[in-house]
Structure 1
């Protein structure tokens, strides 16, 4: 039996990946560019993914003729152990002076970044995913006193993934169990943000092909 026909299921989640857009936002005229450094964080505990689906039906001759659906964003809920201060400052779009930052009530557009993760499957295959355009929702915070019991609290970050202006892509998936998944691994897929189909030949060239 081919691996594409096997009954596979996720058995966990590995590192979280973050790549920040150059200039903090995308445009309609070009595929966005990202900073060279991709942060790989081994502190992810759980990521919840909720879509925002709208649908439309069209009836003709007393039959359902067209049934279309559209998902214009995802709400991502990240439970994590910790995120480095440097990364959180970039997520929140703040720059500190002498370790001090200021927040105010004026409207603010948070920076855009790509978020990705790898999820292993039951037979060792892997799913990898990029959300190429993500923004944070200001987090709720709480601070608790230390007790005698050892307890490392789980922290939560809520984000929204929306379509790229260039091509309307909201998420990009790789699954190593697919028959077409040759010459690519989940780890290689996460080495750069994948945004558009036109990038595939350059990012993942066929081995042995002439240049």
Structure 2
């Protein structure tokens, strides 16, 4: 049976991937560049993905003539166990001095990075995604006392995934179950940020 025709479902989300932008965040002429170091973290409890769609409906001659929609961004709600301090500082866009950082009331643009993840399907294959232009959204924090019943609390953080200025891409999806994914695995897809169709033949050449 061809995998693309099987009824498959997600068993579990696996790794979180973060690659920080090093240049071209405001470029309309080229794909942004990313740090060669990609953080792979096995710390995800849950990842919620919510679109921000808007619709255009046009009626003519008493009938619906056009029913189109666009999605301007995705809101990514991540629940995780913990982040390395180095990664948290990069997300926050701070450089500690003697371990100290400051938050002010000034206007601040958080750093941009690519966020991705892999998820395991019931047949052992994987799906994966990249969101190539992501920023942190300031969120609430809660610190609570320890009790006799030890429990590791989840940490929640929200990100906005917005379109690249270069090509308007917001989300890049990959599935090992697609017939066209011959010879390509989720690990190959996550080895670098995939942000534009022009990268495909270079990164995954046809054998």
On whether the aligned pair clears a TM of 0.5, the verdict is: yes
- Number of aligned residue pairs: give it: 207
**Does the alignment pair 1:188 with 2:188?**
yes
User: Equivalent residue for 2:22?
Assistant: 22
Comparing 39-48 with 116-125, which one deviates more in the overlay? 116-125
User: Equivalent residue for 1:130?
Assistant: 130
User: Equivalent residue for 1:32?
Assistant: 32
- Name the CA distance, whole Å, in 2 between partners of 1:188 and 1:4: 19
| Corresponding residue SS for 1:12 | strand
User: Equivalent residue for 2:141?
Assistant: 141
For residues 146-185 of structure 1, the aligned pairs below 5 Å read: 146-185=146-185
> 1:24·1:113 contact (CA, 8 Å) conserved in 2?
no
Q: CA deviation at 1:139?
A: 2.5
Change in 2 beyond 3 A, CA 1:165/1:10: same
Q: CA deviation at 1:61?
A: 2.2
TM-score (normalizing by structure 2): 0.97
| Corresponding residue SS for 1:21 | strand
5+ residue gaps, structure 1, are none
Q: Higher strand proportion, which one?
A: 2
Moved over 2 A (4+): 23-26
Q: CA deviation at 1:67?
A: 0.8
Q: Deviations over 1:152-205 (max 9, x none)?
A: 000001000000000000000001111111121001100000000001011111
User: Equivalent residue for 2:98?
Assistant: 98
Q: Deviations over 1:22-47 (max 9, x none)?
A: 04834111100000100000111100
**Does the alignment pair 1:79 with 2:76?**
no
Change in 2 beyond 3 A, CA 1:123/1:171: same
Q: Deviations over 1:69-113 (max 9, x none)?
A: 000100000000000000000001000111011110000000000
User: Equivalent residue for 2:3?
Assistant: 3
- Name the CA distance, whole Å, in 2 between partners of 1:23 and 1:32: 6
> 1:174·1:189 contact (CA, 8 Å) conserved in 2?
yes
TM-score (normalizing by structure 1): 0.95
- Name the CA distance, whole Å, in 2 between partners of 1:126 and 1:153: 28
5+ residue gaps, structure 2, are none
| Corresponding residue SS for 2:179 | coil
- Name the CA distance, whole Å, in 2 between partners of 1:113 and 1:36: 12
> 2:23·2:32 contact (CA, 8 Å) conserved in 1?
no
